[in-house]
A and B are shown apart, each in its own frame.
Chain A
């Protein structure tokens, strides 16, 4: 298990890459309009499968919402 900060919440998860994290959280990695940042830097979609996650990593998973 790895302790990560996911969208601001500390959690223990059993994943090793960004793709695995998305799948484990019920987010289809093929879904359009998603974006991910790791420790303050965007991880491009093509890199989700190869980007490893380690203890203490800070992950942001976002999408567009209504806004002005």
Chain B
């Protein structure tokens, strides 16, 4: 059974995106990447240490995945756009996961600035995947300015709280003209499965794997969870009902 997944016309081999932060060490990260089967892998762009050039994460990741640079931590359109432009130069990719943070404590997006930055970056030729609120109107605005996907949050970044508002995510998925990639909040495998069952095209997981007691095993779990959720979505769940319906035949019951 073929189930192609495209972002901006590019076929992707996995519906699981992986973040690279917070792993116990680089080897665990590489093992998790392998176990997850992920193709799209996020990185940040940061000032170099002027103490000297050490081996970069990217040197190690090499050609094994598609790097998706983010603008994590940026709080203004200007900083986010410059970070995206630096990422394009450093990594030779047009793709950017746009983050524009409005509040340091919750890391909630600043929607007004996010839409403006997305618009500006799309006009400059970027393939923009914005981290955004779980709000259908915001997601529609981002699609309208030309974003290649939308990445609504399940719950707060790094919180592991899962999908706080499944109804909103389902609504976004049912109306979005571009792929919905659930970003942030995934705590365990069932959260990733739920995201896919609700209609998300993909999920991004970082902390739930990196900070797990056994990251390699959790990476494998996330892979299975995303595949299971996608299959269930395609198969279609049965309607919920309030009362029991016997699954065994009613005819020929002993004693009747």
Contact = CB atoms under 8 A, between A and B. Distances in A.
> A and B bound?
yes
Interface string A28-60: 100111111100111011000000000000001
B47 A8 contact: yes
Contact of A60 (B20, B47, B158): B47
The 8 closest A-B pairs by CB, nearest first: A67-B44, A68-B19, A68-B206, A35-B90, A35-B89, A35-B86, A7-B47, A66-B20
A65 B57 contact: yes
Contacts of B47: 7-8, 60-62
A64 to B, nearest CB: 4
A33 B44 CA distance: 12
A3 to B, nearest CB: 16
Contact of A61 (B21, B48, B57, B70): B48
B43 A65 contact: yes
A64 B50 contact: no
A64 B45 CA distance: 4
A64 B23 CA distance: 16
Contacts of A25: 50
Contacts of A42: 82, 85-86, 88-89
Contact of A67 (B42, B52, B86): B42
A63 B158 CA distance: 23
A34 B57 contact: no
A63 B46 CA distance: 6
B22 interface: yes
Contacts of A33: 56, 58-59, 90-91
Interface residues of B, number: 40
Given A35-B86, A67-B72, A68-B42, A7 B48 contact: yes
Interface in B113-151: none
Contacts of A26: 50-53
A27 B53 contact: yes
Contact of B44 (A6, A31, A34, A66): A66
Interface in B23-74: 23, 29, 42-48, 50-53, 56-59, 67, 69-70, 72
A6 B20 CA distance: 27
Contacts of B90: 33-35, 62-64
B207 interface: yes
B164 interface: no
B50 A62 contact: no
A6 B49 CA distance: 11
A33 B87 CA distance: 9
Max chain A Cβ within 10 angstroms of own Cβ: one of B19, B72, B86: B86
